[in-house]
Each structure stands twice: as C-alpha cells, then as structure tokens.
Amino acid sequence: MTVSPTRPAASADLACDCLGGQIDDLRKELEHARAQVERQEMAIVELRAKLEDSQERQNKLQDQLHSVEGENQRLGERFHLLEDQVTKISYLFAASRQLLESPDPSTMISAITEIVINSIGSEEFALYVLDDASAELRQIAAMGPQAHRWKALKPGEDPLGCLLTRGEMALTEPGETEQPAAFVPLRHEGRLAGALVVFRLLPHKMAFRPVDRELFELLGTHAARALCPARLHEKGTAAKACP
C-alpha cells in the first residue's frame, strides 16, 4: 500500500484554511470588540463630561441655595425689625396725638393715665405736679396701693425724693431693686414741673421695651407742658383716683 505524498499537504492546507477562517473570525470579533470598546470609551467620555457638567450645575445650584438662604435670613431679620418699628411708631404716634390734642387738663390727665396703663403696662403709678408754695410734688392722679402711700414727694427725702433731687429718668427692671420701676421727671421749659412714678408693671410684663423709654421721654416733655395749666386748674383739689 502506497501513501500519497500529497495527502499530508492537503490536510495541512485544510487545517490552514480552517485556522485562517478562525483567525478571520477572531479578527472580525476583535474589530467588533474594538469598535465596541471605542464606543464605550466615547460613551464614558460623554458621561464624564455630563457628570462634570451636572456637578458644576449642582455646585452652582448649591451656591444659589446658600445665597437665597442668606437673603431669606436677612429679609426675616429686616421684617422683624420693621415690625418692631411699626409697633414703636404706632405707640409713639398715638401717644403724641393724644397728648397734643387733649383740650383741657382733665382730658390730658386721662390721656397720660391711658398711655401709662395701656401702652406702657403699669399696674401701679402716680402722677405729680410741682406745688410752688411748698416746693413739693403733689399727687394729682394715682392707681394702686403703693401709689396712694406717696401723696407728695419732697426733694432729698426718702428714695423717691432722692430720685427727684437727681432729676433724671430712672428705669429699673422688675424685682431688681426696691426702687420704683420708673421715675420720670416732667419738665417744662427746662424746669421741673412734675413727675411720673411707675411703682409696678403689670404681672405679665417682664421688662421694659425700647419703646417704653421713648414713651417716657415723650411724657416727660409733653405731659409737663400740659400739666402746667393742669396744675393751675387742679390746685387745691384732691388727687384724682384712677379706675
């Protein structure tokens, strides 16, 4: 039996063809995979760009949010400030108008009493005018037991007289001292004409507000101007008791 010499060659060719086909297939697959990798890489680049973009937008939005939060806080603070201003101006406006428009001393004393009770929140207080003959301050309106104990103030005598001698407005916080809550000299043309003494604030009023000092200053100026005729009018009459 003879063996054809061409047989192994043919077999090798066949194997080569087969391998060549496999290589072609692998090459195609490789090309395909490479194309896919390129596409994925492009997608990754795009996504990275989008991510960077969205991070940039997020940072911008966060900056905007902080800015809006800050602005909101500033507006809130401004709003409370304005609200306090409206409160203050309303009280000062009403008090000024009542004091300036009171046609007679009696109405004036009622106006002062209303302001001291309702706008300042006093539970016990007294209003005094200077008695020229005795140089004492004589009570013309009073509310509360403490107020009724001090019918007159003599300069230099007792704690109230000392405050009178000092001649300055004095405010103390409730419970701070034995002093009255407020002592307000009433001046007319630079001279002492009377005094307003607040012995006690209403129980729910814990402390004076900034507007209270301004109301006292207003009373210290305008009440005195009105109480000069009041002093003349009321001279010789008993102190007026408030309801």
**Where on the chain is the footprint of other proteins (CB under 8 A)?**
83-84, 86-87, 89-91, 93-95, 97-98, 111, 114-115, 117-121, 123, 202-205, 209, 243
Q: Of the two residues 119 and 139, which places its CB atom closer to other proteins in the complex?
A: 119
CB 136, min distance to other proteins, A: 29
Q: Of the two residues 37 and 81, which places its CB atom closer to other proteins in the complex?
A: 81
Q: Of the two residues 26 and 89, which places its CB atom closer to other proteins in the complex?
A: 89
CB 171 within 8 A of CB 182: yes
CB 91, min distance to other proteins, A: 6
Q: Of the two residues 119 and 130, which places its CB atom closer to other proteins in the complex?
A: 119
Q: Of the two residues 118 and 165, which places its CB atom closer to other proteins in the complex?
A: 118
CB 188 within 8 A of CB 224: yes
CB 86, min distance to other proteins, A: 5
CA 98 to chain centre: 28
CB 230, min distance to other proteins, A: 17
Helix residue ranges, H only, the chain: 6-101, 105-114, 145-149, 158-166, 210-218, 224-234
* Residue 135 region by backbone torsions, left for phi larger than 0, else alpha for psi between -120 and 50, else beta: left
CB 156, min distance to other proteins, A: 34
**From residue 172, how far is each of 159, 165, 183 by CA, in Å?**
14, 18, 9
CA 159 to chain centre: 36
CB 207, min distance to other proteins, A: 12
Other Cβ atoms within 10 Å of 121 Cβ, number? 18
Euclidean distance between CA atoms 155 and 137, whole angstroms: 8
Beta bridge partners of 241: 142
Q: Of the two residues 131 and 146, which places its CB atom closer to other proteins in the complex?
A: 146
